[in-house]
Amino acid sequence: MKPIEEKLLLRGERFDVHQMTIAGSDGKHYHREVIRHPGAVVLLPLIDQDTVVLIENGRPTVGETLLELPAGTREVGEPAETTAARELVEETGYHAKRLDCLHEFFSAPGISDELMHLYAASGLTEGSAAREAVEQIENRIVTRNEVAQLIAEGKIRDGKTLIGLYIFLYSPLMQSIGSA
């Protein structure tokens, strides 16, 4: 389904908001606001096959600190793997010898065209994080058993993180990823 018309409503620092005009099955025209986003990455940083680096991330939007996988927005035209390497260091301080793209998914296709690329990061070496001044982030090292427990207790509520951690726990994709 292609929009009949689309116009820019707001140009933002990281994304833009557009208004689309779409045709309904009743012959009428309808307006929908959508976020046009350059895309993002989410990282599954593996200390080893059974241990992952999560971040405790203060999120002013929801007024909570969430337990998440590190992630970040792509620069316009930037390859996803470049973003993944940059965001891993910025948010966690870790450097990866290997980045493997496991999956791509739309974060919220009802309101945004943001395409996320999930990367497993392995062969990690610890370093200093380069967090933005407004980021309130702390690393949290978690074992496979702890991940399962945190999910079961409802302590992980971020969608991209749940996708990445379910792949970590249950997907055969993980068998091809080298350990650190």
Same domain assignment for residues 118 and 59: yes
CATH code (residue 102): 3.90.79.10
List pLDDT tens digits, range 35-53: 999 999 999 999 999 999 9
Same domain assignment for residues 126 and 139: yes
35 close to 107: Cβ distance less than 8 angstroms: no
Same domain assignment for residues 23 and 106: no
* Residue 77 neighbours by CB under 8 Å, 6+ apart: none
pTM: 0.91
Tokens linked to 151 = 């999910």
Same domain assignment for residues 50 and 133: yes
63-67: list long-range contacts, CB under 8 Å, 24+ apart.
Answer: 65/136, 66/156, 66/157, 66/158, 66/161, 67/140, 67/150, 67/155, 67/156, 67/158, 67/161
The pLDDT value recorded for residue 134 is 81
Q: What is the largest CA-CA distance in the chain?
A: 58
Same domain assignment for residues 117 and 29: no
List pLDDT tens digits, range 50-68: 999 999 999 999 999 999 9
By DSSP bridging, strand 40-48 and strand 115-125 are: parallel
Rounded Cα–Cα distance for residues 109 and 86 (Å): 26
Same domain assignment for residues 16 and 84: no
- Which residue range(s) make up the domain with 18? 5-36
Higher pLDDT, 128 or 23: 23
pLDDT band at 178 (very low <50, low <70, confident <90, very high): low
| Domain-embedded: residue 164 | yes
